[in-house]
Amino acid sequence: MATINKLSLLGLVALLAACGGGGDNQTASNTTTTDTTTAAAAPVVAPAAAPAPAAAPATGNVVEVHMVTSANGASGTFEPANVTVKKGDTVRFITDGKTVHNVTFPPADNVGKSGLPQGPGTYLTTPNQSYDVAITMEPGTYNYHCDPHATMGMKGTITVQ
């Protein structure tokens, strides 16, 4: 009889712990708990997160453009600022990490152009961090700039042949 009472008591404790005491002020929790009061309880395992889709591999050449911060850190330049590529190439923008830079293809600076890379691009902050732009645009010249430094002249063009 004492064994049955102990099991009932353990079951009641587990039930109360699982219910959390009730009330309307419960908050969500990201922790997973496992009931270890009974031998038959299996641990609760959260499903694994799906991996992020891999970027499509470049089918053409990879052209590097370096984002170089000016001496005082207030501006920068793209080196080279103007590149010529073919459809299927990738332009890889690489920062020096001395300040924040990004790449944007503003529709206002590319009037009548379609298929512009969506932007603004990722803000790059650490040395050698890069941002790839797959060239899917039709032949023509496309203007880009760094949002934080556009008014200070950090601009360039990509000519697609």
Confirm or reject CATH 2.60.450.10 for domain 62-160, answering yes or no. no
- pLDDT tens-digit map of 72-131: 778 899 999 999 999 999 999 999 999 999 999 999 999 999 999 987 889 999 999 999
What tokens does 121 get?
Answer: 């691009």
Residue of 73, 134, 60 lying closest to 103 (CA atoms):
134
Residue 58 pLDDT class (50, 70, 90 cuts): low
Higher pLDDT, 50 or 132: 132
pTM, 2 dp: 0.63
Lateral strand order in the sheet of 155-160? 82-85, 155-160, 140-145
Alpha helices by DSSP H, listed for 64-159, are none
Please state whether 144 falls in left (phi above 0), alpha (psi between -120 and 50) or beta: beta
φ, ψ of residue 120 in degrees (nearest 5): -75, 155
